[in-house]
Amino acid sequence: MSAHIVELEKLLTSIIAEHRVLSDAIQAHQDAMRTFKVDALAVAQQAIESSRTRLLSFEARRRVTVQQIARVHRLPADPSLMQIADVAPPVSRKNLMKLRDDLRAITEQVARKTTVSAKVAGSLLGHLNTVVRVVAGAVQQAAVYTKQGMPTVSARIGVMEAVA
């Protein structure tokens, strides 16, 4: 059995495990957004970033290993996992196909979770943008002063002003 293929199996296993860590961190981030816990948001964001950094290093190592396998087995420059599995021994072929399916499943799960986070963050930013526009509009208008020299403040912002 090729040492490079064994290394690729180990790397794919590590990538899958790291994607699970990333998925858990994304879930923690979503939970923190739901409950508006700023400290939990910061911790989850830090976990997400460190997980992404580890994934980038695993991916770089995987690319080098795949290039080595391609060179040794005379495969195309950027072979697919299926092409690598075709030149691998039967046991490794089975393991590689299982790892491919597991990786595909976990990356789809991470993609779904990040889509939800992006939508929640986008709607939150939209609400904050509206608040800033309303406050800026209220501050921008000239104030009317009383006889004592104090500016008068509107009792409330009307519904039409809030959505404008």
| pLDDT tens digits for range 125-145 | 787 788 777 777 766 665 566
Q: Which residue has the higher pLDDT, 149 or 135?
A: 135
pLDDT on residue 164: 47
User: What is the mean predicted confidence (pLDDT) over 82-100?
Assistant: 93
DSSP conformational letter for 33:
H
Claim: this prediction has a pTM higher than 0.75? no
Confidence bin at 117 (pLDDT 50/70/90) = confident
DSSP state of 147: T
- Taking alpha carbons only, the member of 16, 42, 6, 2 closest to residue 108 is 16
| pLDDT score, position 52 | 95
Contacts of residue 65, Cβ cutoff 8 Å, sequence gap at least 6: 4, 7, 8, 11
Q: What is the pLDDT of residue 142?
A: 58
Q: What is the pLDDT of residues 43-74, one digit of tens each?
A: 999 999 999 999 999 999 999 999 999 999 89
Percent of the chain with pLDDT over 70: 83
